[in-house]
Amino acid sequence: MKHTFIYFIGLSLLSVFFASCEKEEGEGGDGSIVGKVYKIIDDGNIYFDDAVFNGGSKAVEDLRSAIISNNKILQKIYFSKNAPTGSALDSLYIRSNYYTSVVNKMLHFGKDTILGCDEDVFIIYGTHEYGFDDKVKTSFDGTYRFDYLNDGNYKIFAYNDNVDGKNAVVYDVKIDGDLVYGGDFYINDGKNANLCGVVGYMEAIASKGYEYMPGVDQRVYIREENSLSYDDCRVDDNGFYVFPKLKPNTEYCVWAITEPSKNEGLFSVVKKFKTGNAGVIVPGPYLQADVN
């Protein structure tokens, strides 16, 4: 019995000894975590695909047709005498979503992926959820590396830089050896991240003209519904106006200036529309104006 007691004491002491030899997560070991950071640059502008950009192509006509067809739906939603509600309104939005899908096949936000040099990557030793324990800067080719780490569990993270603030991209990494690939970070550097856009069409007719033509270089204005501040742009060579950097799921007004009779006053032609989810380009209103 005495020997048994001593045996158990010996086992207990050995377990305490080995436990004390186990190293916690952190520096002091031979492990490393390595990976790369890439930046997704969004310059906040909307671009036509090459097939659309070619004036007079079928793609331009298809885009114009989608905008004009969607404009009829917008007129029913915002300007009909009996405003649609319930299933009737849902049906109109379903049809509008179809034209939105057509537009998004022809247009895109300007994004480019580059190596993320001189970017911060952070590390947490263990599994705690607060702060960070160390950070490194990426090298000229976007590589990050944490060295001299003990075996164990780690968290590494980098930040998306969005227009409405920052949010972390987090990876869980386990070290059980010399070198572990922590993964590649694709982080947004987005002037337009989490926003959306609109593309519309404008025609104008001169005082001595016989038909409406694309309103090249005419000015179109936009403001958020119930807001006094506004922005503006020029109509391009195909008659399209474009506004990026709009809030998602928000109602806006667009307008152009018309002069029906020379020297008899200027008036605004105002139309309404609603943006979609973040990253979506919606077809905007079709505008007509007299230019004298």
Pairwise CA distance, residues 188 & 113, whole Å: 9
- pLDDT of res. 193: 66
Q: What is the per-residue DSSP string for 215-236? A: -TT-EEEEEETT-S--EEEE--
Token pair for 128: 């705690």
Pairwise CA distance, residues 225 & 251, whole Å: 6
Pairwise CA distance, residues 25 & 32, whole Å: 12
At 9, the pLDDT band (50, 70, 90 cuts) reads very low
Candidate from 48-57, 188-197, 236-245 with smallest mean pLDDT:
48-57
Q: How far apart are the first and last CA of the chain?
A: 113
List Cα–Cα distances, 278 to 32, 139, 142, 193, 204, in angstroms.
38, 32, 28, 8, 31
Q: Greater confidence, 1 or 107?
A: 107
pLDDT above 50: residue 121 = yes
How distant is the alpha carbon of residue 286 from its chain centre? Answer: 26
- pLDDT of res. 257: 94
Range(s) for CATH 2.60.40.10 in the chain?
Answer: 25-194, 196-292
At 19, the pLDDT band (50, 70, 90 cuts) reads very low
CATH number, span 25-194: 2.60.40.10
Q: Which CATH number fits domain 196-292: 2.40.30.20, 2.60.40.10, 3.90.226.10, 1.10.3720.10?
A: 2.60.40.10
List Cα–Cα distances, 272 to 35, 90, 175, 233, in angstroms.
48, 17, 56, 17
Mean pLDDT to the nearest integer, 49-74? 84
At 57, the pLDDT band (50, 70, 90 cuts) reads confident
